[in-house]
Homo-oligomer: A and B are copies of this chain.
């Protein structure tokens, strides 16, 4: 239980009230943007695109105007000096100041150049991917890297310029902190993967691609999400081309999934992932609603929630011991000949591949480490952009034992760099590391957690996540949350131990 729950209600200064009003308005407009984005992907008729683009542009400009208004800067100056601020107002001022200072340092024309460049780059990236030619994308990627370096210089950093970018996605984190974590992780993962590949165990996954009616899949995954504690009175699940979680926040979460009738596991797995994000948003302290602290604290912590439900729970022996018979009952006769053991092994098959988003738990982070090493080297000037394809392929061969046959399923597969996002990739692996560390702590805090899960009680874990992680929203930073919850800093060993134990059992290592 965290301190805000019993917050006192001292009258706030007129400056604080004024600050709250402006922040509230900005939040309203941002949450509207979230809804428009969701609608665009799920409901909007084709020809609505032009109006939608104008609506989005107008909202973006209004938010920018409000965020950078000189009166707000004045207000911040006063509030930063006010003593005796309550814990929430204090965090509001601190977090807003941080973003404000960063934004204020970057000249408007540079920001506009960045927006225009990445808009163009996105289209060129699509073309390059279609034609499987990195060289088409290369010139624009060079410019993006240049602008990112310029921004890093303007924003300022200690150590690597990559830190200035990383900080945008995972506040407070530096590459100096990441290096030892990622180094030991890499060694462990490569070692585990080799042992798995050398094992004699073979898994038959073919039954996963039998015919499974879409309607039943949706019925089952909504049942699972409800069991997890996702509140459908405060959210929806719809269909879209790519699964995502968005919407207007806390009491109105909009998630999507994609259903294939010849893939039993994909929609369920991605829905449990999105519901992990969604329950984080739903679980934030209502006192933080309509403030700048009303959602998750960082991409990494957000990803820890989605990954925990998708993998640590959603691919676990305990979970399926309870839910597999229900799935089997729903898909009769498709699953009649599939034993629990066969099912459990099939959904946990380890197989090196070219594509990150299709990777299993063991190889996934090797995909990320490759991207991290490459983008860091590029930003630090140690790798020219033109060398990306060869560096990429060499690393895939070294870490995963495979070489992508072309750039489309090689270094052009992800959208991130075309969006101008450098420093984003590590948050995926951070999410996995946090998730294992949090889950280990939950196992200590909740007696008999595994037995509960094996009895279909998912809500005890959900409540623990609500109280320990969700409730504080953005009022605590990632490192603070990990320290408070786990009594130690981020530690990659929990994730390695989790994989070692699980996959040793599955592959008889």
Contacts and interface: CB of A to CB of B under 8 A. Distances in A.
B48 A252 contact: yes
Contact of A55 (B32, B50, B52, B58): B32
Nearest to A232: B45
B43 A43 contact: yes
A233 B47 contact: yes
A501 interface: no
A290 B48 contact: no
- Main secondary structure, interface of A, reads helix
Interface in A47-65: 47-48, 50-52, 54-55, 57-59, 62
Contacts of A62: 62
Interface centre among A35, A231, A289 (most CB of B within 10 A): A35
* Interface residue tally on A, bucketed by range: 35 or more
Nearest to A62: B62
A45 B290 contact: no
Contacts of A231: 47
A104 to B, nearest CB: 23
A32 to B, nearest CB: 5
Interface stretch (A22-30, A79-87, A138-146, A378-386): A22-30
A233 B46 CA distance: 5
A54 B249 CA distance: 13
Contact of A31 (B43, B55, B234, B289): B55
Count of identical protomers in the assembly = 2
A305 interface: no
Interface in A11-26: 24-25
Contacts of A25: 58
Contacts of A58: 24-25, 28-29
A252 B54 contact: no
Nearest to A33: B32
Interface in A105-127: none
A43 B256 CA distance: 13
A248 interface: yes
A31 B51 CA distance: 9
B54 A290 contact: yes
A232 B35 CA distance: 21
Interface in A256-303: 289-290
A54 B57 CA distance: 21
Contact of A236 (B29, B31, B45, B50): B45
Q: Which 9 A-B pairs have the closest CB atoms?
A: A48-B252, A28-B58, A47-B251, A47-B234, A46-B233, A28-B55, A47-B233, A51-B248, A32-B55
16 contacts: A25-B58, A28-B55, A28-B58, A32-B32, A32-B55, A35-B39, A47-B234, A47-B251, A48-B234, A48-B252, A51-B248, A51-B251, A51-B252, A52-B248, A52-B252, A55-B248
